Amino acid sequence: MALSVPSPFRFPSEGNPDGYLDQGSALAKVADPIQAPLIAQAFELYGSGLYNLDRLTKEMHRLGLRTRAGHMVGKSVLSRILHNRFYTGLIRIEKTGETYEGKHKPIVPVSLFKHVQDLINGKVGRKVVKHKFLFRQLFRCAHCGRCLIGEHQKGHSYYRCHRSQCPSRPVREEKVDRAVIRTLVRLEYSQEEKDCARKRILELRENWAVDREAVIAALRLKLAALEERQNRLTDAYLDQTIDKVIFEQRKTTLLEERRTMQNRIEEMAAPGASLPDRLSEAVELAGSAYLAYRFAVDEEKRELVKKLSSNRTLTGKSLAITLNSPFDLIANRFSVSDGRPSRDTGRTWDGLLDRLSQELVGKASESGFLAGPSARPRVTQTLLPGSRPCDDRSSHRR
Ligand SMILES: [Zn+2]
């Protein structure tokens, strides 16, 4: 017997996805003012790593997410929502594996969508905190890639890799703390540098009205280049130089890059968007990081470490911390391209602000600190490398 159960939730292959209102086949769907923010929130909550599907289902019910018939939205439907690329502005036809750019307005940033997929697929771990070690989930063993686990031993906190016969040695928390401080000290400015930075950023602010137009024009060129790449990709597929699977993979990547670029252009064109403001924010955050860390409580310290650095590793007995862009540029501001240090503060800061501007454009992250607009485009552009938390299996040993 064929059952015809009307489902309140429909997906692109079946028609109208949830969170959007159908405007007829010729028009783009518009975000449902009630459902869309709730769905965006479901992605954010899941993306926080603090929710599994069970908890999220209950939480979304509490927040007011309902089926069209007014019932609780079940786990399986919520799971389909979290898998649905439609919310990022793209349309994927599951049957054929093809992806298209939709006309509808996205409600979930591509970076958040990807992070949620990583969580679902177990590529990044959830946050289930058993014992709150200061540096939990923040350092990895360089030999085996595992997260260092916090332990209590003889009145001290240690971090170590739990793989048997790993050449890494356990490190005391105090040693990790000192390594962080050594890294942050490199971001401190002298009074001369502070004055110089302030003056240069002020000049940039004065010229921003004109510069902004140039920046937007450059971003548009970059968008056009992406469109051209997509055309060439389609040609390659039609000429049968690449197969359908590769074609679809590359097309999806290009569509996501285009979406990110379009967002940047929109943000840059928005009233109030200002690269000098962002530069100033980055410069100030870097300059105050060391003192902020010294006087912060544990949770603030962790946030600061995550915001400023990634790829924190232990090799044997030594710790290495890689600052995130653009903070790495600030830390290395006195090393010029030929490797010789420059002691001319004015020249150093001119070059630094120029490179920072490029970073802010090329690597603006949708979710990170540098979200939003930025200036001169770069040849390569990737998202800010976020720190990827791993399983928290902090143990408590005596
Ligand atoms: Zn190891």
Domain CATH code at residue 54: 3.90.1750.20
CA 391 / ligand 1 centre spacing (Å): 14
CA 364 / ligand 1 centre spacing (Å): 33
Residues 212 and 350 grouped into a single domain: yes
In a domain, residue 6? The reply is: no
Give the helix/strand (H/E) hosting 309: strand 309-315
Residues 83 and 197 grouped into a single domain: no
Q: pLDDT tens, position by position, for the chain (398 residues)?
A: 333 333 333 333 334 457 888 888 888 888 888 889 999 999 999 998 888 898 899 989 988 888 878 888 889 889 999 999 899 999 888 888 888 888 899 999 999 999 999 998 888 777 654 568 999 989 999 999 999 999 988 888 999 998 888 999 999 999 999 999 999 999 999 999 999 999 999 988 888 888 888 888 888 999 999 999 999 999 999 999 999 999 999 999 999 999 988 888 887 788 777 888 888 999 999 999 999 999 888 889 999 999 999 889 999 999 999 999 889 999 998 875 555 555 688 888 888 988 888 777 654 433 232 333 333 333 222 222 222 333 334 444 43
Residues 277 and 203 grouped into a single domain: yes
Main-chain phi, psi angles of 158, to 5 degrees: -125, 160
CA 163 / ligand 1 centre spacing (Å): 5
DSSP 185-232: HTT---HHHHHHHHHHHHHHHHHHHHHHHHHHHHHHHHHHHHHHHHHH
Q: CA 252, CA 135: separation in Å to the nearest integer?
A: 36
- C-alpha distance across the termini of the chain, in Å: 63
Residues 112 and 192 grouped into a single domain: no
Q: CA 77, CA 21: separation in Å to the nearest integer?
A: 18
CA 138 / ligand 1 centre spacing (Å): 14
pLDDT at 358: 77
What is the β-pairing status of strands 156-160 and 149-153?
A: antiparallel
Residues 243 and 324 grouped into a single domain: yes
CA 386 / ligand 1 centre spacing (Å): 21
CA 180 / ligand 1 centre spacing (Å): 20
Residues 208 and 95 grouped into a single domain: no
Assess contact for 168 and 142: CB atoms under 8 A. Answer: yes
pLDDT at 342: 58
CA 125 / ligand 1 centre spacing (Å): 18
pLDDT at 287: 94
Residues 293 and 398 grouped into a single domain: yes
Three-state DSSP at 321 gives strand
In a domain, residue 137? The reply is: no
CA 145 / ligand 1 centre spacing (Å): 7
In a domain, residue 139? The reply is: no
CA 164 / ligand 1 centre spacing (Å): 8
* Residue type, position 152, single letter: H
Q: CA 383, CA 47: separation in Å to the nearest integer?
A: 17
Residues 115 and 203 grouped into a single domain: no
Tokens 């489902």, residue located: 7
Q: CA 184, CA 305: separation in Å to the nearest integer?
A: 9
| Domain end point (choices 120, 139, 166) | 120
In a domain, residue 8? The reply is: no
- Bridge partners (DSSP) of residue 141 are 314
Residues 222 and 100 grouped into a single domain: no
| Domain end point (choices 101, 120, 139) | 120
CA 127 / ligand 1 centre spacing (Å): 21
In a domain, residue 223? The reply is: yes
Residues 222 and 301 grouped into a single domain: yes
Residues 273 and 360 grouped into a single domain: yes
CA 143 / ligand 1 centre spacing (Å): 5
Give the range of the structural domain holding residue 70, as residue numbers without chain letter. 20-120
Number of domains present in the structure of the chain: 2
Q: Which of 208, 213, 252 is nearest to 90 (CA)?
A: 252
| Domain end point (choices 97, 120, 143) | 120
Residues 259 and 366 grouped into a single domain: yes
